[in-house]
Chains A and B, each alone.
Chain A
Amino acid sequence: MKRPEQRDLFPGALEMMILRTLKRHPLHGYALVQHIKRSSKDLLQIEEGSLYPALQRLLKEELVKAEWGISSTNRRVRTYRLTAAGAKHLEHEVSRFEKMLEGITRVLARGES
């Protein structure tokens, strides 16, 4: 019996997606996860709950900040927004990721030929 370990693809990927989503506009947890799921066209199997540990990590590193407020559906929600440090971190992570992806793609492409 194994603990369900449907984590994101690699460590930090979920955080990156959260930051990217928040960069566009601040969101609360539920909306955030729905947005990510929708944008990925459900290709990524994300457990909704796994969002929260990731959000706490970002909060702790002060890459995002949170505020309680009332949503459009009149629900008490905690809205997350990107901090300056978060934006910078995102940029850095994305460029790192792109490099990595490029590398992997090249290797895979060569393997095929």
Chain B
Amino acid sequence: MNWFKQLSSRRRLYDDLSEEIQQHLQEKIEELVASGMPRKEAAAAARREFGNVTLMEEDSRAVWQWPSIETFFTDVRFGARTLRKSLAFTAIAVLTLALGIGANTAIFSLVNGILIVSLPYPKAEHLVSVTGAYPQGALVAMREQMRTMDVAAYAEGHDFNLTGRGEALRLTGTLVSAELFSILGAHPKLGRIFDRGEDIPGQDSYVILSHALWQQRFGSADTIIGRSIELEGVSRQVIGVMPPDFRFPSTKTQIWIPLHNDPRSVFHYWAGDFMPVIGRLRPDATLQQARAEARMFQSQAGALFPWPMPASWNADVSVVPLQNGMVADVRVRLLLLLAAVALVLLIACTNVANLTLSRAATREKEVAIRAAMGAGRQRIMRQLLTESVLLASLGGLLGLLFATEGLSLLKALLPADTPRLMDVRMDWRVLAFTGGLAILTGLLVGLAPALHISRGALTESLKSGGRGAASSVSQRLRSVLVVGEIALAVLLVIAAGLMIRSFWALSHVNPGFRSERILTARITPNESFCGDAARCLAFYRSVLDQVQSFPGVSGAALVNTLPLGGRVSKRSLELEDYVDPSGNTAPLFWLNIVTPGYFRVMGIPLLSGRDFGDSDVSGTPVAVVTAETARRFWPNQSALGKHIRLLDDKSWRTIVGVISDVRAYDLQRNTPNWIDGTAYVPHNPTATLEDRRVPSQMTIAIRTASDDSQIAAMLRDSIASMNHEVPVSEVKTMGAVVTEAVSAPASTTSLFVAFAALALLLGIIGIYGVLSFLVSQRTREIGVRIALGAQRGDVLYLVMKEGARFSFAGIAVGLTGAFLLTRLMSSELYGVSPLDPATYLDVALVMAAVTLLACYVPTRRAMRVDPLVALRYE
């Protein structure tokens, strides 16, 4: 029989059935009456013989039904009615679950968008990333030799001046090998992408614009294609505009410019940018083969260089899917957040389960009646579970709403350079996750109460009218739940405590400079302008002179790389009489080029020797090193008077001063681990960078008591009047620079704190609820005790003892859990051990205090019990 026909004729079937059963009963009654039984008795006898009429009818109907679905809908309707009847309970439970599910959905959206959703490129599964960084020369060799994949490289952090037509603008550019776009499979919105070979000198004067730049600066005009623009004083033809959702390697990139692969400029070719390399696997190649080939290439790559390369260079090279490569930094952080938020949900579940259990006590009677009417245990359990799943689904819906809000908040809170943050949105995966989570949550919340209630001693509860039947089983279950809840809260609060301590340590790190009252700005003449060292230096000189004359400015200095500014200036240095253990005569230094007065302006303490003076600009070559560098290369002796030389420079420099260490790379490290030391040299024609030129990009640091925006405006004006082709960019206070350096840990910490606060709140509500229930259950007992002469203090002791038991057990379990689990977050901690005893102790004390406080309210109610009132209710 076909299903649709069944459905349409079902009403008739049911009507037939009802009538048939009624007729059956009537016939029986008639027969019994005929045999001489009084009608009333006959009716009862007929029913007795027949059995449970409703159940039989239901069972008969069930034959025609698609059973689970139909009872499911019945259960849902019934559940909805039940929930509507106890609005307060429903509201609290739904809200609690919505918070839990919402937080999880928001964090999962991040995990999904960043770690799970595949990159927005065709056949993204074939895209790989070669771990390790290679200069142009190695890239070109790799491009020729690799058989398993096509490779491309890119170098971020190259800024370009855009001049001509309006105010000079500093653009963030990414240098790319010509194949990058085609390897990604990216298509331009307008024009074309780079062709093979367009990264060779003479064929590379092209540029591709980002969509945003095209809109803002070029008014979205299609005519831009084929036109030339001035970048760093060089004319480049615009050949393409990328679509708005193309953000490789990051959102910051405004222009893409071909690499300038010129083997003749040996230094640049072999030691310029060490670039990340991406690749696309060829159709028949596997990741393993690519990995093997990359290792093979690496083993020979060192020999390609015009100088010996340390054996450790890229020694652990591998090939990983591009997605993993791009998000490696945030993976741990995201997963930690997901774990934290999952704990919050668990606590929310526990809370609602407890709430349901309290209600179970009052519902036992209802369930008993339904069981008496013939409902099986499974049937009752299914009904109760449907109800809790319904509850959780409501929570899920509301949670989705919270999550939408939360997600926009998260996007604002997380550091803007979080990879793929812009790609994060709520897609079907997120919806499926939320749906699944809601159902799971509902089952979790409902399971304990359902099991308990359906097992309850029903006849007992019928007899006692629903009182006193809250058996010890229920009480034990509730105790376990509340202990678990406190334990989870303790775990989360400890995690948050560790994050706070770590963040505190990080933000109280002595960076080695004073960040107050310093305004910084990047001043960048065209590279060609600085090709003439004298002209370049004269320009900067006059900038400094003008700035120093601004009102309220007590000092100003220039530096090529500002501490925590995100740039590293590397330069190989020779040290007199020094050969390192591996035979390397020219360790890699971080070379800072500064104008005299820099240390004073930045408040960097001089430990020994002297500061640079104006005489050093032209006199005998000098240098200053940091304490760490002095210790490393001249242990147990003074570095003063020692000699160092920039590689290829003619004259040795004398070390005239040692300054204290500066956290220049980030707040945890002075320098990246591939840098051997830090040196400062005065800004003059001999102070050259790796390209043997004086730096064309300097940052000015201005110590001022005046209004920052006023000084910034004056700076722009005076530079524009000197040379209108020089943009001023990155205008920010040193304080802002430091804040940006801690933005990632700051956001993680604040999220952890928010989750921990939520957990704590839910935990407090939990223990409060359980104890209140306990007190209400024991009102009579307490009344009797008071009537028999118990003092308030005895009652206090009695109730608080219960509360303290929950609290201490929960704290003990939570501490153990934290002891076992916090090591997972050690990579995110700075300056604090995951087993930091102070944090554990503090959290334990705080949790004890808070939970006992939560116990106090119900305790007071117990102390106020009036024995007369309590006993009258018996």
Residues on A facing B (Cβ under 8 Å): 1, 3-4, 6, 29-30, 47-50, 52-53, 55-57, 59-60, 62, 66, 68, 73, 75-78
Number of A-B contacts (CB under 8 A): 78
Contact of B60 among A6, A56, A77 (CB under 8 A): A56
Instruction: Flag whether B59 is at the interface (Cβ < 8 A).
Output: yes
Task: Say yes or no: B51 contacts A50, CB within 8 Å.
Answer: yes
List 12 contacting pairs A-B, 8 Å CB cutoff, sorted by A: A1-B368, A1-B458, A3-B374, A30-B23, A48-B51, A49-B51, A52-B60, A56-B17, A59-B63, A60-B63, A73-B27, A78-B23
Task: Say yes or no: B459 contacts A48, CB within 8 Å.
Answer: no
Instruction: Flag whether B141 is at the interface (Cβ < 8 A).
Output: no
Q: How far is the CA of A66 from the CA of B60 in the complex (A)?
A: 15
Q: How far is the CA of A50 from the CA of B19 in the complex (A)?
A: 16
Task: Say yes or no: A48 contacts B50, CB within 8 Å.
Answer: yes
A53/B56 contact (C-beta < 8 A), A4-B51, A47-B51, A60-B63 known: yes
A75/B459 contact (C-beta < 8 A), A48-B50, A56-B17 known: no
Q: How far is the CA of A48 from the CA of B52 in the complex (A)?
A: 10
Task: Say yes or no: A29 contacts B20, CB within 8 Å.
Answer: yes
A47/B50 contact (C-beta < 8 A), A53-B59, A53-B60, A60-B64 known: yes
Contact of A60 among B1, B17, B30, B51 (CB under 8 A): B1
Q: How far is the CA of A52 from the CA of B371 in the complex (A)?
A: 22
Task: Say yes or no: A75 contacts B51, CB within 8 Å.
Answer: no
Instruction: Flag whether B26 is at the interface (Cβ < 8 A).
Output: yes
Given contacts A3-B374, A47-B50, A52-B17, 13 further A-B contacts (CB under 8 A): A3-B376, A4-B52, A4-B374, A30-B23, A50-B51, A52-B57, A53-B60, A53-B62, A56-B17, A62-B1, A68-B16, A73-B27, A78-B16
Q: Which residue of A lies closest to B458 (CB)?
A: A1
Task: Say yes or no: B24 contacts A30, CB within 8 Å.
Answer: yes
A49/B56 contact (C-beta < 8 A), A56-B64, A60-B64, A78-B16 known: yes
Q: How far is the CA of A57 from the CA of B376 in the complex (A)?
A: 21
Q: Which residue of B lies closest to A76 (CB)?
A: B23
Q: Which residues of B contact A59 (CB under 8 A)?
A: 63
Q: How far is the CA of A47 from the CA of B53 in the complex (A)?
A: 11
Task: Say yes or no: A1 contacts B56, CB within 8 Å.
Answer: no
Chain A min CB distance to B812 (Å): 40
Q: How far is the CA of A13 from the CA of B57 in the complex (A)?
A: 20
Task: Say yes or no: B20 contacts A52, CB within 8 Å.
Answer: yes
Task: Say yes or no: A48 contacts B59, CB within 8 Å.
Answer: no
Q: How far is the CA of A20 from the CA of B344 in the complex (A)?
A: 63
Task: Say yes or no: A53 contacts B51, CB within 8 Å.
Answer: no
Chain B min CB distance to A72 (Å): 12
Q: How far is the CA of A62 from the CA of B459 in the complex (A)?
A: 42
Q: Which residues of A contact B55 (CB under 8 A)?
A: 3, 49
Q: Which residues of A contact B376 (CB under 8 A)?
A: 3
Q: Which residue of A lies closest to B16 (CB)?
A: A78
Chain B min CB distance to A3 (Å): 5
Q: Which residue of A lies closest to B56 (CB)?
A: A49
Instruction: Flag whether B580 is at the interface (Cβ < 8 A).
Output: no
Q: Which residue of B lies closest to A77 (CB)?
A: B23
Task: Say yes or no: B52 contacts A1, CB within 8 Å.
Answer: no
Q: Which residues of A contact B61 (CB under 8 A)?
A: 56
Task: Say yes or no: B21 contacts A49, CB within 8 Å.
Answer: yes
Q: Which residues of B contact A55 (CB under 8 A)?
A: 60
Q: Which residues of B contact A73 (CB under 8 A)?
A: 27, 30
| Residues 1-23 (chain B) with a chain A CB within 8 angstroms | 1, 16-17, 19-21, 23
Residues on B facing A (Cβ under 8 Å): 1, 16-17, 19-21, 23-24, 26-28, 30, 49-53, 55-57, 59-64, 368, 371-372, 374-376, 458-459
From B17, B21, B63, residue with most partner A Cβ within 10 Å:
B63
Chain A min CB distance to B459 (Å): 6
Task: Say yes or no: A52 contacts B56, CB within 8 Å.
Answer: yes
The 5 closest A-B pairs by CB, nearest first: A49-B56, A47-B51, A49-B51, A56-B63, A53-B59
Q: How far is the CA of A26 from the CA of B517 in the complex (A)?
A: 105
Q: Which residues of A contact B30 (CB under 8 A)?
A: 73
Q: Which residues of B contact A76 (CB under 8 A)?
A: 19, 23
A29/B51 contact (C-beta < 8 A), A50-B56, A52-B17 known: no
Task: Say yes or no: B28 contacts A48, CB within 8 Å.
Answer: yes
Q: Which residues of A contact B51 (CB under 8 A)?
A: 4, 6, 47-50
Q: Which residues of B contact A4 (CB under 8 A)?
A: 51-52, 374
Q: Which residues of A contact B16 (CB under 8 A)?
A: 66, 68, 78
Q: Which residues of A contact B27 (CB under 8 A)?
A: 30, 73, 75
Q: How far is the CA of A47 from the CA of B458 in the complex (A)?
A: 25
Q: Which residues of A contact B23 (CB under 8 A)?
A: 29-30, 75-78
A49/B26 contact (C-beta < 8 A), A1-B372, A3-B376, A78-B20 known: no
Chain B min CB distance to A94 (Å): 23
Contact of B50 among A49, A53, A66, A78 (CB under 8 A): A49
Q: Which residues of B contact A47 (CB under 8 A)?
A: 49-51, 56
Chain B min CB distance to A7 (Å): 11
Task: Say yes or no: A53 contacts B63, CB within 8 Å.
Answer: yes
Q: How far is the CA of A78 from the CA of B1 in the complex (A)?
A: 21
Chain A min CB distance to B316 (Å): 67
From A1, A4, A29, A48, residue with most partner B Cβ within 10 Å:
A48
Chain A min CB distance to B34 (Å): 10
Chain A min CB distance to B589 (Å): 86
Chain A min CB distance to B16 (Å): 7
Contact of B49 among A1, A48, A57, A77 (CB under 8 A): A48
Q: Which residues of B contact A52 (CB under 8 A)?
A: 17, 20-21, 56-57, 59-60
Q: Which residue of B lies closest to A62 (CB)?
A: B1
Q: How far is the CA of A90 from the CA of B605 in the complex (A)?
A: 104
Q: How far is the CA of A90 from the CA of B63 in the complex (A)?
A: 20
Chain A min CB distance to B509 (Å): 69
Q: How far is the CA of A7 from the CA of B625 in the complex (A)?
A: 95
Chain A min CB distance to B458 (Å): 5
Q: Which residues of A contact B26 (CB under 8 A)?
A: 75
Q: How far is the CA of A59 from the CA of B60 in the complex (A)?
A: 11
Contact of B371 among A1, A62, A66, A68 (CB under 8 A): A1
Q: Which residues of B contact A3 (CB under 8 A)?
A: 55, 371, 374-376
Chain A min CB distance to B264 (Å): 89
Q: How far is the CA of A47 from the CA of B62 in the complex (A)?
A: 18
Chain A min CB distance to B383 (Å): 15
Q: How far is the CA of A78 from the CA of B60 in the complex (A)?
A: 15
From B19, B27, B57, B458, residue with most partner A Cβ within 10 Å:
B27
Q: Which residue of A lies closest to B375 (CB)?
A: A3
Q: How far is the CA of A78 from the CA of B20 in the complex (A)?
A: 7
Task: Say yes or no: A48 contacts B24, CB within 8 Å.
Answer: yes
Q: How far is the CA of A7 from the CA of B754 in the complex (A)?
A: 59
Q: How far is the CA of A50 from the CA of B55 in the complex (A)?
A: 9
Q: Which residues of B contact A48 (CB under 8 A)?
A: 24, 28, 49-51
Task: Say yes or no: B24 contacts A29, CB within 8 Å.
Answer: yes
From B16, B52, B60, residue with most partner A Cβ within 10 Å:
B60
Q: How far is the CA of A76 from the CA of B18 in the complex (A)?
A: 13
Task: Say yes or no: A49 contacts B52, CB within 8 Å.
Answer: yes
